[in-house]
Amino acid sequence: MITLKRIVKEYDGKQAGNKAVDGLDLEINKGEFVALLGPSGCGKTTTLMMLAGLLKPTSGEIYFSDKLMNHVEPKDRNIGMVFQSYALYPHLTVRENIAFPLRERKIPKLEAYERAKETSKILQIDHLLDRKPAQLSGGQQQRVAMARALSKNPEILLLDEPMSNLDARLKLDVRDEIRKIQRKLGVTTIIVTHDQEEALAISDRVAILNGGRIQQYAPPNELFNHPTNLFVASFLGNPPMNLVTGTLEEKSGNQVVVTNGFEYTLPEERKLNKLHIGKPVQFGIRPHDIAICEASDKQAIRMKVDLVEHLGSGKLVKVIDPQNKLETMIRLLTDNENEVSSRDNLHIKFKDAKFHLFDMTDN
């Protein structure tokens, strides 16, 4: 449905080489829900604006269903767009707002209003048709913006941080609703967000961007369980993955990650190519993949509790090695039953084969 080929965007006045989007390749299937996720300034909005036709790429090609779109005007792209600010027309009623894109296409008023009513039913705002935007709550305004974007049956729906003005609870409801409507209508949808939980929850695939480049493009599970580089590993996850610097060494036929605070023997099936031996590596382990264990456990690593945070559903425990040679704390998640408090000594172990390993010379 959508293909982006080697897209580059340099804004005027920026020095050559300073690219907002830097050689981006992306393919999106018909009916798919894709999120562009990344830190502030990574090029998400710029990419969305190019899809909308509101910005022109400096180079590269944009195709919708094999048709080159680079020079097609926004109004001829058959897209619906929802902005962060919703951008509703304050002097128009909800009905007139939703019907606006249809009226622009010269559809007669009565027919446009009838279609606006139909769309408003899908979004359950048909009782608000006579109100003005100022008489609506944030969540209702958001739905009107969605209805307006969907009223002309677009092939593609572009959402730019559409939930950032909603409170946490409403966000969850609206998120579910957007996904349901998207499935029902089968409209190919691209959402820009910096909220990783939102992106992972709502999307079929997520493109993680940094510095105008795609770091990884995959379904949420794949990104979380198999990050292909250090950026994705450290960006995804809350609390974030623990990362410890070490070296991969060979000891009595085993491959061992040697750090200043512990040694970890890789299981046979996760051994790396011998080329990595002697190289600096980052050993990564997520907080929920660390367990508190007995001192007698073969894999036990002695630690000291630095801080315990109560999260409601469990505890986040921050531990340091007794001599603080690691120079970094390790975060682990445990349930409320575990009696741990600051300055306790305890032993931890890494759950089987849950670690991630990154060769620093690859990055």
Q: Looking at beta carbons only, is 29 or 164 nearer to ligand ATP?
A: 164
Q: Looking at beta carbons only, is 44 or 286 nearer to ligand ATP?
A: 44
Q: Looking at beta carbons only, is 160 or 289 nearer to ligand ATP?
A: 160
- Does 45 help bind ligand ATP (rule: CB under 6 A)? yes
Interface positions, 98-117, toward ligand ATP (CB under 6 A): none
CA distances from 362 to 209, 279, 359 (A): 18, 10, 6
Q: Looking at beta carbons only, is 38 or 284 nearer to ligand ATP?
A: 38
Q: Looking at beta carbons only, is 125 or 163 nearer to ligand ATP?
A: 163
- Does 11 help bind ligand ATP (rule: CB under 6 A)? yes
Give the nearest distance from C-beta 158 to ligand ATP in angstroms. Answer: 13
How many residues bind to ligand ATP according to rule CB under 6 A? 12
Q: Phi-psi category of 290—alpha, beta or left, where left has phi over 0 and alpha has psi -120 to 50?
A: beta
Give the nearest distance from C-beta 334 to ligand ATP in angstroms. Answer: 33
Q: Looking at beta carbons only, is 31 or 41 nearer to ligand ATP?
A: 41
DSSP per-residue letters across 111-131: HHHHHHHHHHHHTT-GGGTTS
Q: Answer for the pair 264, 356: CB distance below 8 angstroms, yes or no.
A: no
CA distances from 353 to 102, 152, 290, 362 (A): 56, 50, 11, 21
Chain centroid offset of residue 349 CA: 29
- Does 43 help bind ligand ATP (rule: CB under 6 A)? yes
- Does 81 help bind ligand ATP (rule: CB under 6 A)? no
Alpha-carbon Rg of the chain, whole angstroms? Answer: 25
Please state, in angstroms and rounded to a whole number, the distance separating the CA atoms of residues 362 and 358: 8
Interface positions, 176-215, toward ligand ATP (CB under 6 A): 194
Please state, in angstroms and rounded to a whole number, the distance separating the CA atoms of residues 320 and 333: 14
- Does 93 help bind ligand ATP (rule: CB under 6 A)? no
Q: Looking at beta carbons only, is 41 or 239 nearer to ligand ATP?
A: 41
Please state, in angstroms and rounded to a whole number, the distance separating the CA atoms of residues 110 and 177: 28
Q: Number of H helices and number of E strands within the chain?
A: 8, 20
Of the residues 2, 4, 20, 190, which one makes contact with ligand ATP according to CB under 6 A: 20
Interface positions, 21-40, toward ligand ATP (CB under 6 A): 38, 40
Give the nearest distance from C-beta 14 to ligand ATP in angstroms. Answer: 6
Give the nearest distance from C-beta 52 to ligand ATP in angstroms. Answer: 13
Please state, in angstroms and rounded to a whole number, the distance separating the CA atoms of residues 6 and 26: 9
Instruction: Provide the binding-site residues for ligand ATP, judged by CB under 6 A.
Output: 11, 14, 20, 38, 40-46, 194
